[in-house]
Structure 1
Amino acid sequence: MVILKGCYTVKPAEPTPNNRLPLSEFDQAKPFILSPTVYFYRPIGNSVASAIDTLRDSLSRVLVHFYPLAGRLYSIDGGRFELQCNAMGALLFEAESESKMDDLGDFRPTPEIGELVPHVDHSTPVHEIPLLVVQLTRFRCGGVCIGMGISYIIADGQSALHFVGEWARIARGEKLDTAPFLDREVFLDQNPPAAPSFDHEEYSTPPSLIGGTDEKEQREMETTVAMLKLSKDQVEKLKKKANEGHNGRPYSRYEAVAGHIWRCACKARRHESDQMTKIRVTVDCRNRLQPPLPKGYFGNASLPTTPTSRAGELLSKPLGYASSRIREAVEKMTDEYIRSAIDFLRCHPDLSKFKTFHSLRCPQGAFFGNPNLDITSWMGLPIYGADFGWGKEFHMGPAKFLGVDGKSFILQSPHADGSFIVPLCLQVDFMEAFNELLYQDI
């Protein structure tokens, strides 16, 4: 049980611009929820009281630079938002837990872990909801957790981690390393939207289950969460397996592991041979655009791509086939394709339906769920090293899955030993089989 001890509204320590900022289509297509993550730290002795003061003071100072996070969103037509930079502030909570950190096991994103991130009531008016919430929880063993929620609309993973890294730097008494680039004009086009140059199937309705229950019933199926681990040796075996008979540029560890997860899910879910299945992969577009985005660009600069295949082909062909489908989908994300995607989104008067790919709360449904998957790579992100003055975290990861069937992440181990961690949410009926297949088929 988590007991709240205090709540503070933290505003920028100095005056910041007070204006309303438009958002790019990258931002507008994201869901109106906060991305929840947790950072766990070993016992910090008697310094917990000063820790909340450290966080509050350093947060106030870092928000001078990252002031959009202290603002609020306002709804405009078509499911879109504008950002009002009004320095309303972020919320910082202080809490205690009667548990020990060891009671949390492997830190899989269960409801217990979810309690370590502040709850946000999305039924309240949009302009009253903070874009950043933080909770410092002290455990009975003396360890602490920082649970954080950052608006999907304001920042993608790269930007969110940029903010966390700079916040930790300021908390340690150091200077800002890389200032955020806040000008979204780089994406805004005053001309009427052009017709997209490509068919953007990543925004099309995902495949349904052949002869199975309808989408609504699928979304109501009970799910469970696992924290799966692959050793360096297992990862290397999968990479070698994916590259058997492949003469081009070798498939990466991510392409091999993601392809393996895709195949195992098809097999565990007992898909028919003709079953179409998609996976959703998020691609960082910062360096794919020409010219590349400025260093420190703060906002969303990632788009989805959706490798697709028949289950029968995935399972009858070698692992390299699944890896090739993933590579082809990612490689098509060129400057021309990305700008076409922006035009595609701009041409739609209402973006609400595209937000459904992220959230089960949307009435139109979500991308995730049988027969599909979302496999998000955090491998290239600086997810570790958030030292606020009491040492680096020993675990960082997602805090909630919200019961989203088929949602998964691929993280490198914090030990930097070449092993992977795979948090995964799947229907209860399929998790045991998936767990067996993941290791059995290596």
Structure 2
Amino acid sequence: MAGEFAEEKKVGGVKILSTGNVKPKKPTGRKECQLVTFDLPYLAFYYNQKLIIYKSGEDFDGIVEKLKDGLAVVLEEFHQLAGKLDKDEDGVFKVVYDDDMEGVEVVAAAAEEVEVAELTAEQGTSKFKELLPYNGILNLEGLHKPLLAVQVTKLKDGVVIGCAFNHAILDGTSTWHFMSAWSEICSGSSATVATPPFLDRTKARNTRVKLDLSQPSDAPEHAKSASSNGAAKTLREKVFKFSGSAVDQIKSRVNAGGSKPFSTFQSLSAHVWSAVTRARELKPEEYTVFTVFADCRKRLEPKMPESYFGNLIQAIFTVTAAGLILSNPIEFGADLIRTAIESHDAKAIDARNTEWETKPIIFQFKDAGVNCVAVGSSPRFKVYDVDFGWGKPESVRSGLNNRFDGMVYLYPGKDGGRSIDVEISLEDDALKRLEKDKEFLMEI
């Protein structure tokens, strides 16, 4: 474990108590792994932030030490998170870890006037900013910044863990694999990583792509996005909690007229796409895009293991006119989504990769499409099982980074079963209309 120094200073309402770094407990030597075509498009995204909120009366210093000790153990297997980005002599990006590197950045902080209930109100993200590391930090900055930063903050009646992961080296599946392994070690349910990460990215794609990138100079505007006429629009976020019975009702409604059943994801996605299109009050001829960041682990040939560590996602797009979404039965949108997802097989994935390698395009986080609804995360991630030894989370939220008008994060509901939380970022007026849309809200 690297050294730590006290830094007693205030950032807004949060007092920084100490800053340090954590390295793998055992020396690993130098490890290198080439970034592949699945990773590289995300270099101009921002660090992916997750906020996990807990009720806890345990000793805060003991919590911090337990987290650091467990982190040092889990990093023995997940050593890439303790490394940095680098480029070889040909300009090919790679992730490198060496025992001389400082490791993961860990900050201990206090916001003792803040109660858990204030953070679980499910409205907005402005209160999260000082509880999360690396706001507005691009993945490309991983050339000289740690690839994982953690902030542990003491609340009046709990603790919050804010994490920032470099999105150029891992996706959501890998993120929650790591978080589960870390919590299992801290809670004592496992002494070592039960399912080690599969670290050889070249098994998924072994093409060397040379990139000449410099860091963009423009800073992000987290609370604003540009409208079609160039004016700024204020974004707002809200979590809509759908009970298991509400999800069942949505699925039953979408499947009422068809012979081939739609999945829960396809049904809920169509429900959200239709409601957001209504809330935006689009003209019938205006296009609307639905985007899903799909896991390709089981789509590739040969298939990759669930433990594959890295990015193994691709954005799948489908587009239609707003008038067609709103004038047709709900299964119209569901069918568009299903067709796009089912057609994205190994052949389509390979064609997309080959096209990108011929003419690499580095995406920005807001490039998902016009009037877009873009779905990330997954209700399959077991986020409420991340128990470090003081109980299950009260809430799990995404941070401020990588948000734009139409970004949707799906999480399992805290109550379990088939319940799903839908976290939506929308232009303020549209979100106000969505909040009053009885057809969308169902039983919530």
Q: Which bracket does the TM-score occupy, shorter chain normalised?
A: 0.7 to 0.9
Find the partner of 1:351 among 348, 355, 361: 361
Which residue of the partner structure matches residue 434 of structure 1?
434
The CA deviation at 1:410 is: 2.1
Distance 1:57 1:192, change over 3 A: closer
Matches within 5 A, 1:398-409: 398-400=398-400, 404-409=404-409
Deviations 1:345-382 (A, max 9, x none): 2112x432xx21x25xxxxxx325x6112122511222
Give me the whole-angstrom Cα distance separating, in 2, the residues matched to 1:309 and 1:55.
Answer: 47
The answer to whether structure 1 residue 44 and structure 2 residue 57 are counterparts is yes
Deviations 1:124-153 (A, max 9, x none): 964221110111111112x11111111111
Find the partner of 2:14 among 2, 26, 39: 2
The CA deviation at 1:108 is: 4.0
Which residue of the partner structure matches residue 216 of structure 2?
none
In the alignment, residue 341 of structure 2 is paired with which amino acid?
A: V
Give the match's secondary structure for 1:4: strand
In the alignment, residue 64 of structure 1 is paired with which amino acid?
A: E
The answer to whether structure 1 residue 284 and structure 2 residue 295 are counterparts is yes
Deviations 1:310-343 (A, max 9, x none): 1111111100111111101110111111111221
The CA deviation at 1:8 is: 1.1
Structure 1, 143-152 or 184-193: larger mean CA deviation: 184-193
Equivalent pair of 2:47/2:401 in contact (CA under 8 Å): no
Equivalent pair of 1:109/1:398 in contact (CA under 8 Å): no
Find the partner of 2:201 among 184, 190, 200: 184
The CA deviation at 1:437 is: 2.1
Distance 1:440 1:286, change over 3 A: closer
The answer to whether structure 1 residue 14 and structure 2 residue 26 are counterparts is yes
The CA deviation at 1:15 is: 1.4
Matches within 5 A, 1:314-329: 314-329=325-340
Which residue of the partner structure matches residue 156 of structure 2?
140
Equivalent pair of 2:48/2:401 in contact (CA under 8 Å): no
Give the match's secondary structure for 2:181: helix
Equivalent pair of 2:47/2:134 in contact (CA under 8 Å): no
The CA deviation at 1:78 is: 11
Distance 1:367 1:190, change over 3 A: closer
The CA deviation at 1:104 is: 2.5
Find the partner of 2:127 among 109, 112, 124: 112
Distance 1:49 1:190, change over 3 A: closer
The answer to whether structure 1 residue 224 and structure 2 residue 225 are counterparts is no
In the alignment, residue 318 of structure 1 is paired with which amino acid?
A: P
Aligned residues, how many? 408
In the alignment, residue 386 of structure 2 is paired with which amino acid?
A: A
Distance 1:225 1:120, change over 3 A: closer
Give me the whole-angstrom Cα distance separating, in 2, the residues matched to 1:235 and 1:108.
Answer: 21
Which residue of the partner structure matches residue 250 of structure 2?
238
Distance 1:252 1:79, change over 3 A: farther
Structure 1, 125-134 or 260-269: larger mean CA deviation: 125-134
The CA deviation at 1:7 is: 0.8
In the alignment, residue 436 of structure 2 is paired with which amino acid?
A: E
Distance 1:284 1:190, change over 3 A: closer
Find the partner of 2:185 among 147, 163, 170: 170
For structure 2, the 5+ residue unaligned runs are 1-12, 211-225
Equivalent pair of 1:41/1:392 in contact (CA under 8 Å): yes
In the alignment, residue 180 of structure 1 is paired with which amino acid?
A: P
Give me the whole-angstrom Cα distance separating, in 1, the residues matched to 2:290 and 2:88.
Answer: 31
Distance 1:400 1:192, change over 3 A: closer
The CA deviation at 1:17 is: 3.8
The CA deviation at 1:413 is: 0.6
Deviations 1:179-201 (A, max 9, x none): 111011213435999xxxxxxxx
For structure 1, the 5+ residue unaligned runs are 194-212, 360-365
In the alignment, residue 175 of structure 2 is paired with which amino acid?
A: A
The CA deviation at 1:394 is: 2.1
Equivalent pair of 2:131/2:160 in contact (CA under 8 Å): yes
The CA deviation at 1:61 is: 1.3
In the alignment, residue 154 of structure 2 is paired with which amino acid?
A: R
The CA deviation at 1:303 is: 0.6
Structure 1, 416-425 or 148-157: larger mean CA deviation: 416-425
Give me the whole-angstrom Cα distance separating, in 1, the residues matched to 2:246 and 2:209.
Answer: 51
Distance 1:441 1:158, change over 3 A: closer
Deviations 1:58-78 (A, max 9, x none): 111111110111111125799
The CA deviation at 1:90 is: 0.5
Give me the whole-angstrom Cα distance separating, in 2, the residues matched to 1:16 and 1:191.
Answer: 25
Give me the whole-angstrom Cα distance separating, in 2, the residues matched to 1:387 and 1:112.
Answer: 23
Find the partner of 1:93 among 89, 107, 111: 107
Which residue of the partner structure matches residue 221 of structure 2?
none
Give me the whole-angstrom Cα distance separating, in 2, the residues matched to 1:82 and 1:168.
Answer: 28
Equivalent pair of 1:95/1:136 in contact (CA under 8 Å): yes
Which residue of the partner structure matches residue 204 of structure 1?
none
Give the match's secondary structure for 1:381: coil
Give the match's secondary structure for 2:169: coil
The CA deviation at 1:296 is: 1.3
Give me the whole-angstrom Cα distance separating, in 2, the residues matched to 1:20 and 1:216.
Answer: 46
In the alignment, residue 125 of structure 2 is paired with which amino acid?
A: T
TM-score by length of 2: 0.86
Deviations 1:37-83 (A, max 9, x none): 111111233x2111111111111111111011111112579996321
The answer to whether structure 1 residue 274 and structure 2 residue 285 are counterparts is yes
In the alignment, residue 9 of structure 1 is paired with which amino acid?
A: N
Distance 1:43 1:25, change over 3 A: same
Give me the whole-angstrom Cα distance separating, in 2, the residues matched to 1:43 and 1:382.
Answer: 20
Find the partner of 1:34 among 27, 39, 47: 47
Give me the whole-angstrom Cα distance separating, in 1, the residues matched to 2:19 and 2:258.
Answer: 56
Give me the whole-angstrom Cα distance separating, in 2, the residues matched to 1:10 and 1:192.
Answer: 31
Identity of aligned residues (%): 26
